[in-house]
Amino acid sequence: MTITEKILAAHAGRDNVSAGELINAKVDLILANDITAPISINEFKKIGAKDVFDRDRIAFIPDHFAPQKDIKAAEQCKMLRDFSKEYDLDLYFEVGRMGVEHALLPEQGIVVPGDLVIGADSHTCTYGALGAFSTGVGSTDVASAMATGECWFRVPESMKFIYYGTLNKWVSGKDLILHTIGDIGVDGALYRAMEFEGEVISYLPMSGRLTICNMAIEAGGKNGIIVPDRITEDYVKGRAKREYKFYTADKDAEYVDIKEYDCSQIPLTVSCPHLPSNTKPAAELSSVSIDQVVVGSCTNGRIEDLRAAAEIIRGKKVSPNTRMIVIPATQQIYLEAVREGLAELFVEADAVFSTPTCGPCLGGHMGILAKGEKAIATTNRNFTGRMGHPESEVYLSNPAVAAASAVLGRIGTPEEVL
């Protein structure tokens, strides 16, 4: 079996499972946010559930429109707060403790290797970086699971992606996944487990792994996953809130497809409007002027991402024709950035340094685009109207390219700035 099949089998109480089977499996953690949880709460009450299956295994995180941007957002967030109080949920994160959900849960050790996690948010696939099976589901599935502790799945086929060679300067996990999506397309891994491995992955820090698995859904994947190793162990051993288990794929596991990439041939990569698969080398986009730069999100809002952006922009200024918004993904990352002097550095460069929020990524708040404006962002989607007006444009990049673009006022590379 593959690592995905082993985790699903264990949670279904089975010795083995195979691709295409329908199974019922116990979940270790359920996640929802201020957009999706209210639907789940309403459905939970409709089915007449008397209690949640486990108050320690349901995480409600208001992060999309929080801090609350208007009355409707406030009402949505209040539903999470009230439900959490009513059922005495341990994992409700109010503003001040809150972070972008997919950065917060690994950071706090709430998701651990070997887990089966479902979330009413498509980027729940992020946690595969820890060696967990995690996937996005609908809000009604979350409602049922909150009552029963179980969810049904069709066991996905697995694809293997092997990365070898040496990364070029400034090329990161974001570039690897953008390049991969550009290669296979936004439906190239439709309902498949995307298993990432190879010598480059074995040396990639957890921040880069989280970025790669976060965007598995952008290739249509059911989940992204990396077999846990020493880097995984170093990351989880000091923070895990529960016991964990490392699963590995069998040597004779079956894969529906195997892709290999020579990373020395992967350039700094940008996804152009209006699909993550519309990729081009950053160096070929110097004619694209930029109105807004966003560094943050569940994809690239970790301290390593802020450090990369800071290294580019240190001692420089954001172009007067461009605005730059930097959003640490959690309160802990925010505090680290303050202590390291990164917050001061960004503000002195004329950037905005924000409290944690998903905000502009989904066109929520803290950076909506007007008609005709163009943004480059370290987020994960650039669909039509994703960040505001339907006639605006979003380009996706890693933090170093985003920071360089902020200084230049156009899409550019770190080498042009340094």
Q: Single out the residue in 220, 238, 261 at which a domain terminates.
A: 261
Asked if 117 contacts 33 with a C-beta cutoff of 8 angstroms, the reply is no
Kindly state whether residues 64 and 202 are assigned to the same domain. yes
Kindly state whether residues 203 and 306 are assigned to the same domain. no
Q: Single out the residue in 229, 261, 293 at which a domain terminates.
A: 261
Kindly state whether residues 381 and 293 are assigned to the same domain. yes
pLDDT at 27: 98
Asked if 82 contacts 280 with a C-beta cutoff of 8 angstroms, the reply is no
pTM of the model: 0.96
Kindly state whether residues 255 and 276 are assigned to the same domain. no
pLDDT at 99: 95
Question: What is the token pair recorded at 112?
Answer: 């651990």
Please enumerate in sequence order all residues whose Cβ is within 8 A of that of 81, keeping only pairs 6 or more positions apart, or say none. Answer: 62, 92, 94
* Residue that has been written with the tokens 């993550």 in this structure: 276
Kindly state whether residues 254 and 358 are assigned to the same domain. no
Give the separation between CA 123 and CA 112, rounded to whole angstroms. Answer: 17
Q: Considering its fold, how many domains does the chain have in total?
A: 2
Point out the residues of the chain with pLDDT beneath 70: none
pLDDT at 14: 97
Q: What is the CATH number of the domain that holds 28?
A: 3.30.499.10
pLDDT at 271: 98
Count CB neighbours of 265 within 10 A.
9
Kindly state whether residues 294 and 406 are assigned to the same domain. yes
Kindly state whether residues 58 and 101 are assigned to the same domain. yes
pLDDT at 237: 94
Q: What angle do CA 192, 29, 234 make, to 5 degrees?
A: 80
Kindly state whether residues 242 and 319 are assigned to the same domain. no
pLDDT at 247: 97
pLDDT at 353: 97
Strands 150-154 and 22-26: antiparallel
Kindly state whether residues 349 and 257 are assigned to the same domain. no
Kindly state whether residues 95 and 235 are assigned to the same domain. yes
pLDDT at 75: 96
Q: How far is CA 131 from CA 37, 67, 186, 230, in A?
A: 26, 31, 23, 12
Asked if 255 contacts 156 with a C-beta cutoff of 8 angstroms, the reply is no
Q: Which of 195, 258, 200 is nearest to 225 (CA)?
A: 195
Kindly state whether residues 279 and 250 are assigned to the same domain. no
pLDDT at 418: 93
320 by Cβ neighbours in 10 Å (0-12 / 13-18 / 19+) ranks as exposed
Domain that holds residue 170: 3-261
Kindly state whether residues 60 and 201 are assigned to the same domain. yes
pLDDT at 200: 98
* Helix-helix angle 173-184:206-214, to 10 degrees: 30
DSSP string, 7-64: HHHHHHT-S---TT-EEEEE-SEEEEETTTHHHHHHHHHHTT--S-S-TTSEEEE--S
